[in-house]
Amino acid sequence: MTDAATYRNPVIPGFHPDPSICRVGEDYYLVCSSFEYFPGVPIFHSRDLVNWRQIGNVLDRPNQLELPPGTHASGGIFAPTIRHHDGRFYMITTNVNIGRHLLVTATDPAGPWSDPIYLDVPHIDPSLVWDDNGDCWLTVSGVESYRIDPLAGTVLEGPVPMWSGTGGQYPEAPHLYRIDGWWYLLVSEGGTHTGHAVSIARSRDIRGPFAPAPVNPFLTHRSTDRPIQATGHADLVQAADGSWWLVLLGIRAKGQWPPYHVLGRETFLVPVRWVDGWPVVDPVEEVMAAPAGSPPALATAPDPGAHRDDFDDPTLAAGWLSLRARPAESWSLTERPGWLTLHAVGDTLDRVGATIVARRQLHHDCRAGVRVDPGAGRAGLTLRIDEAHHYDLEISEGTVRVVGRVGPFRQVFAEQPVPPGPVTVTIATRTHHLLPPTVTAADQVTAPGAPFGVRPAACDTVSFEVATADGSVVLAELDGRYLSTEVAAGFTGRVFGLYVTEGSAAFDWFDYQPMPPAGD
């Protein structure tokens, strides 16, 4: 591979799992799962497969996305598939809380997308493909297929059993592709954690039988010490120049033992070459060499992810997430122009129903700050995975507090008076493994009685700062592993959330900056 360009993985960092991709001419579109968050199914656009920009959310109206209050964390919207057929975009996904697949269509992938058509077919991970007769086939985990009418939502034939991988648990994420007169069936197996793997089979007939590739799984990082783990849930795409690529999910775990991942499952990209009619990929690395002749823009670095929102626009940017719904009475960008005003709906972050507007944590080392006017209410900035796993910088009654909730435990780690009016608070995460000398309450949590020093189990340190007239003060530093998937379980990752749990509060701005790793 001479004259190779390189690019950086993950191409879409942060909690962006289960990628599905399609190409129309020179344009690529990619969607991810969104679970209990509203709006649902973020959609991205790229011209080079590396630099992605979110252009909207496919499910951005309550009548497309029913997430009833009983929707548990990591419930809701599972793996979507995006396809383009006959001038129309199709997105199909499963809402596990209503137990149905829903299909929406659009002519412009930035929206609006149609109201949903529901398909009452079991299993998860629906995918669509059209055969040579123009018939539409739905594949689902298991793995099986159904011939359907995608616009009426009716099943015309099936289930047709297909091929369930090499025997790994959870054969899922099936996608069918028509390539060189074959039907290729891509399947993930082994579960979405470190056993994850991608296998493939093919048939001349869409109804099978499918013959597996001689070497399966053709992509897995299981039982390796590679820094990127859990590689799987993939989708294939052919670039405009004829080259082939796989998008897939993976995790970047830190610390030991076991390693912890805190950003959720992220989207990675790997080039594919075909050998004797089967796809071959190299292991997924953070810096990947792209084959010579690939789109030249692959040499460019992806957006480092810094962003600031001054809340001057009358609409919330596509990257903002709420939990299960964003009722009109809970937020406003016009009530106090230039500020995001939030009104409490629920009274605690510990239960479903709180008013939160959140952005994903995209980097292991980063800082997120807000300027918040809590008024007479209770408001702040949280770093959360779910209702039972969050660290909060909370302001009420003239006091700023660091509050941690982990499983059934809730504790106030630090508090300090603040003057009335707007306060600037920041949460920073660092991946260093040595405790800094400023460490406070966190040490009591992570290493009772131990002197400051090496803490090999930590995946990161989360620090909580408040701006005062005398400069920024670190109120506490907590061990980040308690806000990891290994502790919290589930399919999502961390988000930074602006919230209010009593009265009303206004946010002047939100600022997110990646930071260079501090090292050991």
Is residue 76 near ligand 6LW by the rule CB under 6 A? no
Among residues 64, 34, 36, the alpha carbon closest in space to that of 44 is found at: 34
* 107-126 positions binding ligand 6LW, by CB under 6 A: 124-125
CB closest to ligand 6LW, residue no: 192
Shortest separation between residue 86's beta carbon and ligand 6LW, angstroms: 27
Binding ligand 6LW (rule: CB under 6 A), the pick from 14, 17, 75, 126 is 17
Helix (H) or strand (E) holding 157: strand 154-161
Is residue 192 near ligand 6LW by the rule CB under 6 A? yes
Is residue 173 near ligand 6LW by the rule CB under 6 A? yes
Among residues 398, 380, 409, 417, the alpha carbon closest in space to that of 498 is found at: 380
Is residue 144 near ligand 6LW by the rule CB under 6 A? no
Shortest separation between residue 79's beta carbon and ligand 6LW, angstroms: 4
Minimum CB distance to ligand 6LW smaller for 18 or for 465: 18
Phi-psi region of 175 (alpha: psi -120 to 50; beta: other; left: phi over 0): beta
Is residue 441 near ligand 6LW by the rule CB under 6 A? no
Is residue 489 near ligand 6LW by the rule CB under 6 A? no
Is residue 172 near ligand 6LW by the rule CB under 6 A? yes
Minimum CB distance to ligand 6LW smaller for 78 or for 146: 78
HSE at residue 416, side-chain half, CA atoms within 13 A, is 16
Range 129-133 contact pairs with CB under 8 angstroms and sequence separation of 24 or more: 129/83, 129/175, 129/176, 129/177, 129/178, 129/206, 130/85, 130/86, 131/178, 131/206, 132/178
Minimum CB distance to ligand 6LW smaller for 249 or for 253: 249
Report the C-alpha gap between 178 and 133 in whole angstroms: 13
Please give the C-alpha separations between residue 332 and each of 309, 327, 342, 395, 406, in angstroms, as whole numbers. 14, 10, 7, 20, 31
The answer to whether the beta carbons of residues 418 and 400 sit under 8 Å apart is: yes
Is residue 175 near ligand 6LW by the rule CB under 6 A? no
Shortest separation between residue 170's beta carbon and ligand 6LW, angstroms: 7
**Cβ-based neighbour number of residue 333 at 10 Å:** 16
Helix (H) or strand (E) holding 411: strand 409-417
Backbone angles phi, psi at 285, to 5 degrees: -120, 165
Minimum CB distance to ligand 6LW smaller for 19 or for 353: 19
Residue found under tokens 């020179």:
26
Is residue 168 near ligand 6LW by the rule CB under 6 A? no
DSSP 243: -
Shortest separation between residue 93's beta carbon and ligand 6LW, angstroms: 9
Shortest separation between residue 192's beta carbon and ligand 6LW, angstroms: 3
Is residue 18 near ligand 6LW by the rule CB under 6 A? yes
Say how many residues touch ligand 6LW, by CB under 6 A: 14
Minimum CB distance to ligand 6LW smaller for 220 or for 294: 220
- Annotated catalytic residue 66: no
- Coil, strand or helix at 452: coil
Buried b (16+ CB within 10 A) or exposed e, 248-258: bbbbbbbbeee
Helix (H) or strand (E) holding 486: helix 485-488
Among residues 317, 252, 245, the alpha carbon closest in space to that of 286 is found at: 252
Report the C-alpha gap between 316 and 318 in whole angstroms: 6
Catalytic residue among 60, 172, 373, 394: 172
Minimum CB distance to ligand 6LW smaller for 192 or for 355: 192
Exposed/middle/buried for residue 455 (C-beta within 10 Å: 0-12, 13-18, 19+): buried
- Annotated catalytic residue 18: yes
Is residue 44 near ligand 6LW by the rule CB under 6 A? no
Minimum CB distance to ligand 6LW smaller for 37 or for 331: 37
Shortest separation between residue 142's beta carbon and ligand 6LW, angstroms: 12
Is residue 362 near ligand 6LW by the rule CB under 6 A? no
Is residue 491 near ligand 6LW by the rule CB under 6 A? yes
Is residue 479 near ligand 6LW by the rule CB under 6 A? no
Is residue 413 near ligand 6LW by the rule CB under 6 A? no
Helix, strand, coil percentages for the chain (3-state, nearest 5): 5, 50, 50
Minimum CB distance to ligand 6LW smaller for 216 or for 461: 216
Shortest separation between residue 494's beta carbon and ligand 6LW, angstroms: 16
Shortest separation between residue 163's beta carbon and ligand 6LW, angstroms: 16
Q: Indicate which residues carry an active-site annotation.
A: 18, 172
Residues engaged in binding ligand 6LW (CB under 6 A): 17-18, 33, 78-79, 124-125, 172-173, 192, 232-233, 249, 491
